[in-house]
Every structure is written in structure tokens, then in C-alpha cells.
A and B are shown apart, each in its own frame.
Chain A
Amino acid sequence: MTNPTIELDGLEVQLGGRTILHGLTGVLKSRAIGLLGPNGAGKSTLINTLLGFHSPSKGSARVLGLNSHNDGKALRALVGYMPENDAFISKMSGVRFVRYMAEISGLPAEQAMERAHEAFVYVGLGEARYRPVGTYSLGMKQLAKLAQAIAHGPQLLILDEPTNGMDPPARKRLIELIREIREASDICLLLSSHLLRDVEETCDEVLILRNGKIASICNLVEERRANRKFLELETIGAEPSFTTSLESLGCECAVFANGRIKVVMPDSVEIREVFKVAADRGVQIRRMNHRRDSLEDIFLNAMEQTGAADGRI
């Protein structure tokens, strides 16, 4: 049985005399986990705690089965980390910088050099690899940080706000890269971002934090699957017999004005059966939408629910 990617057991972290994370408890099993929350929610503190930079004052966190506090070195051997802020050695050439980091991770010099070149070409900075990192644009620095995080072949890639400061094409390219990395290997991913779209496009599971507490843990794969079973129809000529026929298939229907019908389908029913019933009854389906309970809805719901508890967002 494989270990969950992240297990939090009453994790509490205090920094500078303030409690930043309040007894987080939860298990995240997916390979790609998104970390969401407003500013000051504790996302970066959680990442730093998982990396062993901060010690828990209570409880524990386990990453890939290893305790973040007690097994720090063993855990960090499995991790590639792309920090949120600037993190580079400005006078070093890009490829030398990545090679340096790979060697510190334990790769022998030759392999480190080879992997550094490969990582640089892979992230799309092949042409710029001999330039000092200090001369790179913001987007290039982000890609260089990604290259150093993947060069040593980690099992878990932790990306803290990876698309910060990137223009839309560069952001799109980076998100594509992250998805490629996820799909091309068995690497796990923990991505923290303010941008819901980044998380939605790359992650299977999302942990939403608010004021240092877990607002929600949501499995996006299951959510997407559930969404596929919820239809909104706009019809012309729909008689009550149409909904009766759908109900006889096991669907639940709610009829609204102007021919609008909401349908919840059981797992056994496919959409084409709805079309078949409509054709048999002479009903025109003018528009069909899957209900899309987007990550934004999930996020806002989580914020509202926890906001109600303490009265502020």
C-alpha cells in the first residue's frame, strides 16, 4: 500500500509567538495537490513546515510517509522545491547554477552536468543557459527555478506560486510544463497558487486554507466526475411525459419556466439516452450544459463557510 502524499495530524505551527497553523488534520492522497487560500492563510508556512524549515509546535506532518520534522534530510532528498521569491545565484550561468544544485542533491558531477543541460532545454531556456541568471527576465528566472527543482529527479515537486509575475503566454507554457511533468512520470506535485485556474488545470486534489485552518479538502477528480452527471437543459416542446420518461430511466428532474429542466443522472445513464428520449418525444434540446461547479465555486463556498464561523474573510 502506498503512502498518502501528505498527512497532517493536528499540525500546529507557531512563528514569532503567533500561531500560524491551527491544528491542521487531513490526508491528501492524490498525486497532484493544490494549495489555495487568501494572503496570510498559511500556505507558505505549511510548505516550509513540510520541508522541515519550521518545527511544529504540536502535531505532525508526514510527506510520502516521512515525518517532516524527524526525517527532514530523508524527506528533502525526495523533494524538488521551487520557492515563491527570487532564489538564484546571480553571477552564475543558468546551467552551472542548476548543475550546482543537482550536485548538492547528491548527483555526481557528470550526471549533474548532463541533467542540468537537459532540464534547461526541457523548460525552454536552452538558448539562455550560458547567460548569468541575474540577467534573466522574471519569467526566465521562474523557469530556471523550475529547472533546478527537477534536475535531480525528485519524487515530489513543491511549487510555491510558480506563475508569479509571468505574462499569459509564459504562464500557459509553465502550466503545460507542469502538466507534462506530472503525466510523464510518477512524480507527485504540490502547487501553491493564488490563481485558481493554475490549480484547476494541474491538480487533482485541493487543500484550501483560511486563517491557518483547513477550510476545505476537495478531490477535484471526483468533483468533475459528479459534475458530469448534472445537466441543465433548455428545451422546446417538452411535455411532462418527457420528464416522466427521464425519471423512468432513474434520473431526477426539476422543471423550470421557459422549458428549462435540470437533470441529475444516475451513473448507469449516458447522455445519449437523454437525446434518445428527447427524439422519441419530439422534444428539441436547444442547449445542454453540464453543471460546472468550478474550483472558484468550491473556493468561495469554503471561504463563506469558514467566514461565517468567525465573521470575516
Chain B
Amino acid sequence: MAVYKRRYNSYGGSLTPQWSRFFVLTRYAFADLFKSRFFVLLLILSIIPCLFFAGYIFIANNKTIQLLMQVRSADLLSVETKYFIVIMMVQTQAAFLLNCWVGPVLISGDLTNGALPLFLSRPFSRADYVLGKLAVLGLLLSAVTWIPCLLLFSLQSGLARNGWIWSHLWMVVPIIFCSAIWILMLSLISLAVSAWVKLRIVATGVIFISFFIPAGLGEMFNAIMGTYWGQLLNFSYMFRLILAKGFREESGLLGSVDWIGVPVWAAWGVLIAVCVLSLFILNVRLRARETVRG
């Protein structure tokens, strides 16, 4: 089908492996995202706190600078478990904001103009489609959560010396594991809401309030019923519980984790239930053809 010949020819060349085709979606999505200045700004803003955290680690480990700044070591928060929990909490919130913007951009464009049947009429399943979009969010949110966190961990390990790394190596597991569950939950919620709502701006708003309205309702439930189970609707709080448990922070985290209240297994249950519900919505909404019942 050469341009100059202007006649149709079938294709007889090589094909890419079936398993790798979901990555086409990821590649195109990244190319589109990086065309947006707002996205680039948001990404930079999400990473900027890490520079401050890195600077703090540098100061905390450098006596000369402490002397120059007239700061005593005792006045500084030691770079230990709590410090990394703070980093994780800040970065996971940055990931949340990034996810609110990016998730709808990925899905809405395909759904508003009915492009989904074009994807699914090829040797490409709905699972491939979701995987391709999840990979975008997974890579992006990793870049602002566990990857910078591990880099900061490496920086502290390099500067602290005296075997700090060996006594704190266990922290690598909660850094990665807690980030992974948060990224998975955020990504699935944002894809499910975008698939449901379709309109990008509305989807962004719905994702945003889907974290705050249930939390508010939960607080109301607690106040009325005199219980603490309403906290189950506060997804951020559930994540903090898991994070504190993962980092072996038994004394509570910055006064905000109440160990007498919701058990950790319930927090896990909530996050898993949210993921399952999101998958269910995706399964219902991501179809080549909608069936009208009746």
C-alpha cells in the first residue's frame, strides 16, 4: 500500500508479541501526558518535597552545616522510622493529587468518542486495556512515592554510615509494599470513576471527593453512633494505619493513629474491598457494546 502506488495491499510483515501490546497504550499515554504543561508542572511539584527531605537528611548528617546554621542535633527530628513515615505520607498525598488529574485523562478520551470498540475489535482484551492504563499510573505514581523514598533511604544510608543501612534495611519492604497498595487503590479508583463518569473534569472532581465525602460521612456516623467504625470510610486513615503497622510504629503516628480503634486487618479489608469494587465497575463499564436491558 505504498503512498505513490495508491492501491491497497495486505500486510505480511512481522508482528510484535501479544503480551507486549498493552505497553503501546502506556507509551502513547506518556507521550500525550508530557505534552501538557500543567501535567509537567504537577509532576515537578510532586517531586519538590523530596528535595527538601533530601536537604534535611544532608543537614541532619552534616555537623559543619549544623554549626554554620547554628542548629543543634538534638533539635532536629532524627532520620529514623518516623521521618520516613512523614516522607511516605507527604508523597502519597502528592500521588493522590497527581492521580486525580492523570486518571481521567487516560480513559475519558477513549470513552467520550466511542473509541473503545476499536481497541477491543483487535487482538486486545479488556484486561490488556486496563493493564496498559494501570501501567501509566503505576509508573507515574511510583516516580513520586517509593522511588524517591528509596533514593532518600539510600542517601541517608550513605551519609549516616556506622551500619545504619543494616539496622534499617527492613524499612525497604514497607516503603515498597505500602506504596504499592496505595498506588493500586488510587489507580483503580481513578480508572473506575473515569470509566463510569466519562467526562474528564467531572471525573477529576468525583475522584477528589470520593476520598473526602465518605470520610466525612464516616465521622458523622461515629459522632451519632458513638463508635469508631465510621473510620472505615476514611481511606487515607486506613492507609495510615497500614503504613504505621508496616513501619512498626506502635506508639501512634504523630498523634493521629488511634490503635484502640479500627484494627489493621479491617484497614486491609477496606482497601481490598475498594480495589475489588473498582474492578467490578471497570468490568461493567469497559465493554465494546452497552446492553440496554428490558
A300 CB to closest chain B CB (Å) equals 30
Contact A106 B7 (CB under 8 A): no
Which residue in A17, A53, A111 is a CB contact (below 8 Å) of B289?
A53
Please judge, given known A-B contacts A16-B292, A100-B24, A185-B8, whether A118 and B2 are in contact too, CB under 8 Å: yes
- Contact code string A74-90 (vs B, CB < 8 Å = 1, else 0): 10110101010111111
Within the complex, which residue of A89, A105, A108, A111 is in contact with B109, where a contact is CB–CB below 8 Å? A89
> A145-195: which have CB < 8 Å to B?
148, 150, 152-155, 158, 180-181, 184-187
Q: Is the CB of B289 within 8 A of A87?
A: no
Size category of the binding interface on chain B: 35 or more
Q: How far is the CA of A88 from the CA of B2 in the complex (A)?
A: 24
A101: interface (CB < 8 Å): yes
For residue A54, which residues in chain B have a CB less than 8 angstroms away from its CB? Answer: 289
Instruction: Out of B13, B28, B109, name the residue touching A107 (CB < 8 Å).
Output: B13
Query: Among residues 185 to 239 in chain A, which have CB atoms less than 8 Å away from a CB atom of chain B?
Result: 185-187
A269 at the interface (CB under 8 A from B): no
How far, in whole Å, are A179 and B115 apart by their CA atoms in the complex? 26
* Residue B112 CB within 8 A of the other chain: yes
Query: 1/0 per residue B18-42: CB within 8 Å of A?
Result: 1001001100100010000000000
The verdict on A17 contacting B294 (CB below 8 Å), with A83-B114, A90-B112, A104-B122 known, is: yes
Chain A residues with CB under 8 Å of B25's CB are 104
How many angstroms from the CA of A17 to the CA of B291 in the assembled complex? 10
B118 within 8 A of A: yes
Among A16, A17, A105, the most chain B Cβ lie within 10 Å of the Cβ of: A105
Contacts of A87 in B (CB 8 A): 113-115, 117-118
- CA of A19 to CA of B16 in the docked complex: distance in angstroms? 39
Q: Do A81 and B115 have beta carbons less than 8 Å apart?
A: no
Question: What A residues does B10 contact at CB under 8 A?
Answer: 153-155, 185-187
Q: Closest chain A residue to B17 by CB distance?
A: A106
Interface size class of A (residues with CB under 8 A): 35 or more
A122 interfacial contact with B, CB 8 Å: yes
Q: How far is the CB of A81 from chain B (nearest CB, A)?
A: 4
Q: List chain A residues, Cβ under 8 A from B11.
A: 107, 111, 115, 152-153
Write the chain B residue with the least CB distance to A153: B11
* Among A18, A88, A115, A152, contact of B113 (Cβ-Cβ < 8 Å): A88
Distance between B259 CB and nearest chain A CB, rounded to angstroms: 49
Chain B residue with the shortest CB-CB distance to A106? B15
Q: Are B291 and A148 in contact (CB under 8 A)?
A: no
- A181 vs B14: C-alpha distance when bound (angstroms): 22
**Roughly how many angstroms separate A152 CA and B112 CA in the complex, as a whole number?**
24
Please pick, from A53, A118, A148, A187, the residue contacting B118 in the complex, using a CB distance under 8 A.
Answer: A148
For the complex formed, measure the closest distance between the CB of B9 and the CB atoms of chain A, giving whole angstroms. Answer: 7
Query: Chain A residues near B114 (CB, 8 Å)?
Result: 83, 85-88
Contact A16 B294 (CB under 8 A): yes
> Contact between B28 and A73 (Cβ–Cβ < 8 Å)?
no
B1 at the A interface (CB under 8 A):
yes
Cβ–Cβ contact B21 & A106, under 8 A: yes
Using a CB–CB distance below 8 Å, which chain A residues touch chain B? Answer: 15-18, 48, 51, 53-54, 73-74, 76-77, 79, 81, 83, 85-91, 100-101, 103-108, 111, 115, 117-119, 121-122, 126, 134, 148, 150, 152-155, 158, 180-181, 184-187
Of the A-B pairs whose beta carbons lie under 8 Å apart in the complex, a sample of 20, sorted by A's number, is: A51-B121, A73-B123, A73-B125, A79-B121, A81-B118, A83-B118, A83-B121, A86-B113, A88-B115, A89-B110, A89-B113, A104-B25, A105-B122, A118-B3, A152-B11, A180-B7, A185-B10, A186-B10, A187-B8, A187-B10
> Which 4 A-B pairs rank lowest in CB-CB distance, beginning with the nearest?
A153-B11, A16-B293, A106-B15, A81-B121
